[in-house]
Amino acid sequence: MIINQANIRTMSVGYSVIFNKALATTPVTYQQIATTVPSSTRDQSYNWLGQMPQMREWIGEREIQNLSAYDYVIKNKKFEMTISVPRDDIEDDTYGVYNPMFQNMGECAALHPNKQCYGALMGGFEGLCYDGKPFFAADHPVGKKKISNLGTKKLSLETYKAGRTAIMSMVGDKGNSLALVPDLLVVSPANEEMGRQILEAEFISGSSNVYKGTAKLLVEPELAAKPEAWYLLCTARAIKPIIYQERKKIKFVSKTADNDDNVFMKDEFLYGADGRNNVGYGFWQMAYGSTGETE
C-alpha cells in the first residue's frame, strides 16, 4: 500500500469498524448484577445509600428522611489498551493480519465492565461499602443491631436456604421489613452443578425440591479465581447490589498523523481504546455472599 493520509484513514476506519462490531456484539452479563450510573465528574457521591426510605402513614408533619448519613464516594479511574502497526506491514500489504487483534481489542473493551463488576463481587469480603464495613460482613449496623449478610459454608440446599432467609429477613433502622426477595444465584463454573440442582431439579435426595425456580442461576467464568464462593442477590429493585459508574464510554482512538511522535520517531501507527469508569457497592442488604471455605 502507498503510505498517504487517505490510505491510512481508510485502513483506520476498517480497524475501527472491526473494533466497534466486536464491542457491540460480545455477550456480557454484568447488567444482571450491576446498575449503570452515569457520572459527570471525577468522583461521585452516594450519600443517599445510608437509608432505604419507606412509605409511612402521614400523621402530623412529613418525616424527612436523612439521606446523608454516610460519606460514600466512587472515584473514576482511567483504563486503556494500545497496539501498534509497523509502517513496513502497511507498505507490504500485510496489515490485514492485525484484524483479529482489533477484534480482540473490541471484545476486551466489551468485557471490561464484566471484569470490574465480578471483581467487585469477589472482593466484597474485603471491599468496604457505605457503612465502612466489608460489603459481605457479619456486623453491619442497623439501628442498635448488628446484621450479617456473610456466610462461610459451601453451596448446598441448606446454605442456599440460609442465604435466602437472611435477605428476606432484612429490616430497616426502624425495624420494618425491607421486603427483599433474592432472585439471582451467582456462582463460578465449579459450583454450576450444585446451583442447577438447587434451582432446577424436581427432587433432591428423594424429596420434592421446594426451592426449584426460586431464583435464576448465573454461572460466570470471571468468578473462577474464587471457585468455592457463591452469591445470592436481589436484582429486581432500581439499584442493584453492584454499581458500575461510567464517566466516559470506552472508545476507539488512533495516532496516525505524519507528525505524531510515534510515526516520526518509531515508524509505527498506534491504535487504542480508552475510557473512564469504576465500580462500587450499593445496598449490602440486597446481597448474601459466602466464601465457601467450610462444609
| Closest by CA position to 80, among listed 272, 260, 278, 239 | 272
What's the pLDDT at 228? 98
User: Which residues on adjacent β-strands are paired with residue 289?
Assistant: 150, 231
- What's the Cα-to-Cα distance from 98 to each of 10, 172, 223, 253, rounded to whole Å? 15, 55, 30, 16
| Closest by CA position to 196, among listed 206, 207, 180, 185 | 185
Half-sphere exposure of 70 (CA within 13 A, CB side): 19
Q: Which residue has the cell 471483581?
A: 119
The parts of the chain modelled with pLDDT lower than 50 are 64, 67-68
What's the pLDDT at 278? 98
Q: Are 148 and 183 in contact (CB under 8 A)?
A: no
Contacts 24+ apart (CB under 8 A), 53-59: 54/172, 54/176, 54/178
What's the pLDDT at 63? 56
Whether 183 is covered by a domain: the verdict is yes
What's the pLDDT at 47? 80
Whether 193 is covered by a domain: the verdict is yes
Residue 163, phi-psi category: left (phi > 0), alpha (psi -120 to 50), beta (remainder): alpha
Whether 61 is covered by a domain: the verdict is no
Reduce the DSSP state of residue 216 to 3 states and report it: strand
Q: Which residue has the cell 420434592?
A: 208
Residues 187 and 279: their CA atoms lie apart, in Å, by: 20
Whether 47 is covered by a domain: the verdict is yes
pLDDT in tens, 191-236: 999 999 999 999 998 899 999 999 999 999 999 999 999 999 999 9
Give Rg (Cα) of the chain: 24
What's the pLDDT at 93? 64
Q: At a CB cut-off of 8 Å and minimum separation 6, what does 221 contact?
A: 188, 189
Q: Which run of H or of E encompasses 21?
A: helix 5-25
What's the pLDDT at 107? 97
Whether 249 is covered by a domain: the verdict is yes
Residues 153 and 134: their CA atoms lie apart, in Å, by: 18
Range of the domain at 109: 5-54+72-294
| Closest by CA position to 8, among listed 100, 114, 87 | 87
Q: Which residue has the cell 459466602?
A: 290
- For residue 149, the domain's CATH number is 3.90.1690
Whether 116 is covered by a domain: the verdict is yes
Q: Is the pTM of this model over 0.85?
A: yes
Whether 94 is covered by a domain: the verdict is yes
Whether 86 is covered by a domain: the verdict is yes
Q: Is 149 exposed, middle or buried (0-12, 13-18, 19+ CB in 10 A)?
A: buried
Domain total of the chain: 1
